[in-house]
Amino acid sequence: MSNWTKVAAMAVSVLALSGAAYGQQTPPAATPANSPEGVQAFDPAFFARFAPVTALDMVRQLPGFRIDEGEDLRGFGATAGNVLIDGRRTSSKDAISDELGRISARDVLRIELIRASAAGDIDVRGYTELANVVLKPASELQVSTTWAATTRWYDQGRQAAQIGGTRAWKTDNFGFRLAVQGSSLGEREEVDVTFSNAAGTVVARQDEHYQQQVGELLVTGAANWTPTARDTINANFRILPRLFSNNAAASTRLPSGTLVGNIFLDYTEKDIWYVDGGGDWEHKFSPANAVKVILVNRTLNWRPQQLLTQAPVGAPFTQVRDTSDNKAGEHVLRGVWTIKPALEHTLEFGLEGAYNYREVDRQREFGPLAGPFSVVPVPIASTKVEEERVEASITDVWRMSPQLTLEGALNYEVSTISQSGDAVQERDFTYAKPRAVATWTPTAQDQVRLSLLRDVSQLDFADFATGLDSISNTANVGNPNLEPEQSWKANLQWKRALGERGSISVSAFYDDIEDTQDFIASQLSTPSACITVAPTPAACFRTAIGNVGDGKRWGGRIEATIPLDSLGVSNGILKLNVGAQDSEVIDPMTGVERQISSEQEYDWSIDFRQDVPSMKFAWGGDYSSAGPNPEYRHERIEIADPGEGDLDMFVETTAFLGGALVRITAENIFDQEREVQRRFFTPNRIPPGAFSSSEKRLSTFGPTVTFTLAGAF
């Protein structure tokens, strides 16, 4: 059965199961009397069957709702997700899931699902539905604590651990939350590599292993203060010192079994520090007139060090040493003025300024075992990239009727990107980013959303400097000419409620892309700067991330949450998620139309859970799969296939230890095998380059078993 046939079969199954379940469902349960139309409220009793410890556990069980962390777009205002806390978006750029995971379920008064048509003055940001976590008020000091400890057993007896807790204090006008988490994690990857020539004859085999180790201490804090009835002040910080290492080794043999040589890699990142701080202040002149100022600061320092030792049989050992000193930061100041000139309109005016930077100082040296070492020239190895950006925006949310809401917006940005060091350049950019979203609610169960917007992607400043991975023979040369990708995006979605706990949504999208980001062949200006440690050292071309012209992307997704009570599985619920997409772009090396690199054609997952409240017990699991991920580099075509699928299972109970949550999870049960196929061309894929050899990499990570103990008081 072909990949697309599998996806089609899954999609048909989703629709069939949803239809069968809906045919036996009762209408959605009535919301509390104080809930306005379009707002569905869920009190803690609804979530009791799931034994939640944190607000994240509760939001994950909302019927037909999936947390969206927000897209990685340019501008703080464009990255918002679909979850609010007390009707407000957080000022931190941390994932909203992390924020929810630090809030005790005992502090939640209720969670609301708010349709766009009933959002009032809440910032919808193009979503058809928002989740609002409403916290309990406090007339006197209230203190709550959540804690969790996890132990994980990997294949071959290796072990990892994580422990943490959150303490929260709250009064009628002040709250503070402090969270601390320590982790020691490791993952081992085993890789079998087969090398073949152009005729398909195996010429060598290689066994590789990679052992990662991560140690970190995460400290976060958040405070909120309401000094007056019109003022709200929030502040947050995050400090994360971290250690990371990746020790690898490889043995190469001929088909006969004769050892050719060994490779050893010692990779360590030192002095890793994440330091974030920010907050916001909101002042309400009246219920229909408010201003908000947001401040975000993020800094990161890290120093990677790598020593690659090549030990061929019967020849002198050689070593390649890479050292790097890296710094990155983001500083954002945003102001928002929100007014309601009429009952059916909410206007928002925004002004944002940002300064982002990334600084890299890299050096590569080559020499015999124990030295002496000589410097190997690396293009764009030491450089600093800086961006200064100002963006103005205006948004109007027009509630034309209880059934129809229109959201129109225009963002306009002016930015300057400059680069110094090994590459010196300064460029100015201006982008207009309009957005239009229509949400129609024809019935109490149905909602239709149509959106059209212009999207400008966030640049990864790492692509401006050269990145090297010696053991996997991968090098991306820095590209000072990289520009943001721009897209016109159209999306149509239909969503229907299936009883109290279920829903189905069907969506389709189309993206018309300018300056598509993909792999390009970058010709180095000086032959002496060519990197010699590469699979095909001929000619002075290397792979870089660049812009390859116009492209297209289209696809669709079906998501369903299906209660199984009427099908004979009491308190059981099944979640299905099926997506498929395709794309087109002109290959800059061959001039032939192909897919965009690093985009999967399909993905699907099945998630099952059954709760047995009388026994304080739950069990379930999930199975997920995804299609191949192609990369069209200058010297090779690489296709990564994640395998047939990943099966995870869990059991959990709160029947012991005073109601604490005890959970045992088995992950990657079938030890999913992942395959990477590489096809090399000499001297590269630019005509008349010809296919010269291939490489097949089969990797496994092994199954894991996790034991988690969590609770709150």
Q: How much is the pLDDT for 40? A: 85
> How open is the CA angle 293-298-299, to the nearest 5 degrees?
150
How does DSSP assign 347-375, residue by residue? EEEEEEEEEEEEEEEEEEEEEETT---EE
Beta bridge partners of 632: 637
pLDDT tens digits, 92-116: 767 888 888 889 998 999 999 887 6
Give the per-residue pLDDT at 296: 93
Instruction: Give the residues across from 603 on adjacent strands.
Output: 579, 626
pLDDT value for 271: 85
**Residue from 149, 98, 154, 53 nearest 707 by CA:** 149
d(CA 439, CA 389): 32
What pLDDT does 114 receive?
A: 84
- Residues near 582 by beta carbon (within 8 Å), at least 6 away in sequence: 553, 554, 555, 595, 601
User: How many whole angstroms separate alpha carbon 176 and alpha carbon 375?
Assistant: 52
pTM above the 0.95 mark? Answer: no
| Residue 295 and residue 274 in contact, taking contact as beta carbons nearer than 8 Å | no
Domains located in the chain, CATH noted: 36-137 (2.170.130.10)
Q: What is the pLDDT of residue 241?
A: 96
The dihedral sign for the CA sequence 79, 85, 88, 94 = negative
Per-residue confidence (pLDDT) for residue 476, from 0 to 100: 82
Q: Which two tokens stand for residue 70?
A: 């927000």
Tokens linked to 366:
């080559």
Q: What is the pLDDT of residue 529?
A: 45
**Structure-block tokens of residue 206:** 């290689």
Q: Which two tokens stand for residue 204?
A: 């060598």
Mean pLDDT, the chain, integer: 88
DSSP 155-216: GGG-EEEEEEEEEEEE-SSEEEEEEEEEEEEEEEEEEEEEEEETTS-EEEEEEEEEEEEEEE
DSSP for 232-293 reads EEEEEEEEEEEEEEEEEEEEEE-TT--EEEEEEEEEEEEEEEEEEEEEEEEEEEETTEEEEE
Longest alpha-carbon distance in the chain: 84
Please give the pLDDT value at position 536.
Answer: 40
pLDDT for 39? 81
- Which pLDDT value is given to residue 538? 46
Ramachandran angles phi, psi of 301, nearest 5°: -130, 140
pLDDT at 97: 85
Q: Which residues of the chain have pLDDT under 70?
A: 1-37, 70-80, 93, 116-126, 469-474, 524-540
pLDDT digits (tens, 9 = 90+) for 564-600: 988 889 999 999 999 999 999 999 999 999 999 999 9
